[in-house]
Structure 1
Amino acid sequence: MSTVSTVIVKAPAGIYQGLSHDGVNFFHSIDFLDLPTRFAPAQPAEFAPEQLFDATVERPHEIALSISTPDDAKPGSDHPVVVYIHGGRFESGTHEDPRAEGTANARHGVVQVQLGYRVGFEGFVQFPGDEPHAYRGIDDCQVGLEWVQKNIEAFGGDPTNVTIIGQSAGATTALWLMRKDHYRGGFRRVIAISPCYPRHSFAQRKGTLRAFFGKPITRRSFEKASPKRLKRTFKLFRTRYILDMALGPAPFQPE
């Protein structure tokens, strides 16, 4: 029977208490975003270095990140880092997806980060004034990668040796982060598994969403809408594109 113990990591963003068992350290559901509303632009959270965070509990419904490390990882270990971005048609998924948890990688000397981001309307509806190729869900990942750059060394990872692995919608997100107008140096390489893109841009589908929502497609109207109304609207909108992804970055332009 394995023994579970607590482990403490002191990072620039704070002090994190995780769990250690079976040769692996686990730090669950670490907050990295400041989101005053569901549709607010992605902003990094500000924490004090001396603030203590409980990273022993999984919070799969939050936008957060989780870390798995070898149990001997410490600052200066310089383990390679893998950042996993989950799939889910840009409408579902979580940073705590058990199918992608990091035990196997940690036992082979790799620090793994599972990165969450906003999906559905919160992450991928574009409002007036948004940059043409910017999406809040992808911006969330960008902020998460910046958190990794600033803090992963404290967990034993090498911030100069970060590989993104994305699957399905996560692969699309990873490739989108490689765009010349998005890349900020937060990773060295990408493994994109089965990337997928909507056939049409959001601008081409905005009228359909407006008809189902019954209100202007603005940040204010979406923030004022009830969760029940948004859920009902998304169900109708998604059904309209049942053989496609209703939302997501588009168009695909490999050049």
Structure 2
Amino acid sequence: MELHVQGGPVEPFLGAQDLFSTEYDLDRPVTVRVREDPDERTRVSHSEDGHLLTISRQAATSAMARELALHEFAHMHHHERGHPSHTQSTEEAIYLALAGRSVEQRKLTHCYQIANHMRDVYADDVWMAMAPGDKLVPFLEASLAAAVADRPADPPGWDHVTPTTPRDRGPDEPTARLTPAADPEITAVNAAFALALCERHDLVDDDHRLYDLAHAAAADAEGVSLAEFKRHFASLSPDPDASEFRKALVDVTRAYATSGTKAAD
């Protein structure tokens, strides 16, 4: 595994490389570029010549820098190996799930974020088999607590649209803030993802504060079933074929896009 780090600390990336290389290898070289922009935590692009990880200095110098690098290396591994989660077009899944329906633009946008969660599940399956995920729990807890506290007084009202062809977002392309405050419905799904990830890897006990935060998020989004979306993420097959992953992505897309509303023909 060939690694080049530009513009920032090399230690967390070299540490991640050493650990990752005990179990896996990457055929293409990896370039890490550290940037000053704190809003762009991580972004990954792939080409025939190699993988490019752009990471903020804030993230590259954080306590989770090594774990973030491992996570991104796992995405690169899945990309090179053609894992179904990294070859399936989100655009195609949205078309299959929502053909003939009208959905809010905000929900359509959120579907791409949910697809990214599903890719993240498979990346985390790789790196958490090599390193403890204990640092991930307080990160998830803090992120969820901030989103719950930041809920809007009124739900956002975006126009309804018929799904067209929004571009696929890369597995680790950052998600921009969608509203002036956290959207309760996607916050509830994010809470379900956090719980599913923790349960999938036995990271928390049943009385952990994350459960209280998740139920608070769910209470703010009555149309979104926390249990249903947790099941979608937690029950992903560890080794799916293309058809199995496509069905899972279609199912979760349809469940979210039609949650809390009556679908319009």
Q: Common fold, TM-score beyond 0.5?
A: no
Report which of the two has the higher share of helix. Answer: 2
TM-score (norm 1): 0.31
- Pick 1 or 2: higher relative contact order, CA cutoff 8 A, min separation 6: 2
Report which of the two has the higher share of strand. Answer: 1
TM-score (norm 2): 0.30
